[in-house]
Amino acid sequence: MRNKYLFTSESVTEGHPDKVCDQISDAILDAIYKEDPAGRVACETLVTTGLAVVAGEITTSCYVNIPDIVRQTIKDIGYTDAHYGFDYLTCGVVTSIQEQSRDIALGVNVGGAGDQGMMFGYATNETKELMPMPITLAHALTRRLAKIRKDRLVNFLRPDGKSQVTIEYQDGKPKRVEAIVLSAHHDQKTKMSEIHKSMKELVIKEIIPAELMDKNTKIYMNPTGRFEIGGPQGDTGVTGRKIIVDTYGGVGSHGGGCFSGKDPTKVDRSGSYMARYVAKNVVASGIADKCEVQIAYAIGIAEPVSVMVNTFGTGKISDEKIVKLVREKFDLTPGGIIEKLKLRRPIYKRTAAYGHFGRNEDGFTWEEVDMANALKKAAK
């Protein structure tokens, strides 16, 4: 183990163009699941200046008005003024939707996985959320940035924004904050001095614990000097391009696919949720301080082709024994995952910004630790 090192994670606000796309895709999934919990959805979105494009495969017995969903989602995020270069009233909406492939449906209809692939879950005891500290603090900063905008604590903020947090680790434990980067989308009139003061007082001081900062902590706010052009006007957005923001901030491994816009028959999503659920319960049980779980599937086959556990030398029992416990205690078939985690519900739009993990909120069933005691007893 390295005695001392730095690790950095980033987060983005809900107004970041890629996150706009994730939320639109998941809002469409939610709208279908409200009417048809058996619907099949694989929905992608692209946004750019004045335009949103939705494409994908949807099979459902209900009807949803996709352009209305797109506009309402953009409005909820905060793009409500044409001066932002993108707004819900004037943007064009283009749709191209077809049904799910019958070849894929053959395997999914009998309970198999909707695709091949490998999914990872991770947990660590370095925060109360059992998440890595860099991504936890980065998400907290962007959520706070969005909150002060929506609560109108300042009047110059626009929806886009980013954060980045660098943590110094010693002997594998978080020691201090080395650096903070905060980029806030703002209007043309506000002076940088006012932005810096507000971000420091209303965001950084409210989120970063004082004991983690010292005289050597570096703070960078809007490092280019100005951030007036943002959102889809500043950068084209696409569903699924913030997969590290969505998961563990670069700690551990990541599987082959994104989450948003996919119903839970797609194991890219449900398998990753289950892997987090397993890893979190392993750490919560005290069996290990850190845990990474990999689950791999073949398309159309229910049982995973492999299950791997890595506790990075922190396990109280061997990783092989933990794999055996996982196989015994958890149903890892797609159908079993969907039932256990109650995934056929309209819960997905909220997951599409500020991370899918580390959030003890209603609907985030994969964050529960209800199997921890069972694992602890079995490990003895």
Work out the end-to-end distance of the chain between its first and last CA atoms, rounded to an integer number of angstroms.
27
Closest by CA position to 146, among listed 89, 77, 85: 77
pLDDT at 1: 55
Residue 119 has which token pair? Answer: 């999914």
CB 141 within 8 A of CB 203: yes
Q: Are 44 and 55 in contact (CB under 8 A)?
A: yes
pLDDT digits (tens, 9 = 90+) for 332-373: 999 999 999 999 999 999 999 999 999 999 999 999 999 999
The pLDDT assigned to 134 comes to: 98
Residues in the chain, pLDDT under 70:
1-2, 102-112, 114
Q: CB count, 10 Å around CB of 39?
A: 21
30, 352 contact by CB (below 8 A): no
**Nearest in space to 284 (alpha carbons), one of 131, 66, 142:** 131
In the chain, the amino acid numbered 314 is: T
Among 77, 89, 69, 76, which residue's Cα sits nearest to residue 28?
Answer: 69
Provide the whole-model pTM. 0.95
pLDDT at 378: 94
DSSP state of 78: T
Two tokens at 24? 């639109």
Q: Which of 284, 285, 292, 274 is nearest to 342 (CA)?
A: 274
